[in-house]
Amino acid sequence: MIILHHGILGPKVNMPITKVLKQRLKVLFDYDMTLLTYHLFLDKHEVLGNNAQIIKLLGAEKGEKFGYLNKLYWGWEAEYKKPIKIDDFLAKVKKLFGSEVKIFKYGSAKIKKFGIVSGGGPYVFPEAIDKNIDVYMTGETAEWTESWAKEAGIHYIRLGHYNSEKFGVQALGAFIKKKFPKFEIKFIDIPNSL
């Protein structure tokens, strides 16, 4: 069985079967494999989701639902009990995500509250601005992202789409292993800097 965050059908529900999709499906059929994908749930789940896991790994407390888009909340607000220096926060982020993160550093010197939407979340950046969040983190940027961060006086951190979406599937694997200790669970990391 293979568990993925994103499915193999791409962004369209009615995507035609192309050469690439045909090859992917052939591998599944040839090896009699089951494929499970949990896109939304591995972003927003309150414990196993990408965003909840990132908040936990950054040592913050999960707050209110955050990142409203297409009639759904995709992420969470998070808060530190005591504000931390932005440079200490950035050190935690770089330790967790590596040096490929892109930082638009235009906010306050101390961080109390941040918002996170894993994956492609630049379009909920206005919500972070409206809620006076100190830092907004997501997987991608848009052309206008830096100028908005500068004008709003908020830090914006692009984590990389893939980098921000690998924590949920790992947490799900650990959850399955705990319930079924005899199962062999392996996370296959296929890095993608975008």
Q: With CA atoms as reference, report the closest residue to 105 among 123, 80, 86.
A: 86
**Same domain? 18 vs 97:** no
Q: Model confidence over 7-30: pLDDT tens digits?
A: 887 666 677 888 988 999 999 999
Q: Model confidence over 129-161: pLDDT tens digits?
A: 999 999 999 999 999 999 999 999 999 999 999
Which residues form the domain of 71? 42-164
**Same domain? 55 vs 124:** yes
**Same domain? 10 vs 95:** no
Q: Describe the crossing of helices 50-57 and 167-179 by its angle, rounded to 10 degrees.
A: 90
Number of domains in the chain: 2
Give the percent of the chain with pLDDT over 70: 98
**Same domain? 133 vs 59:** yes
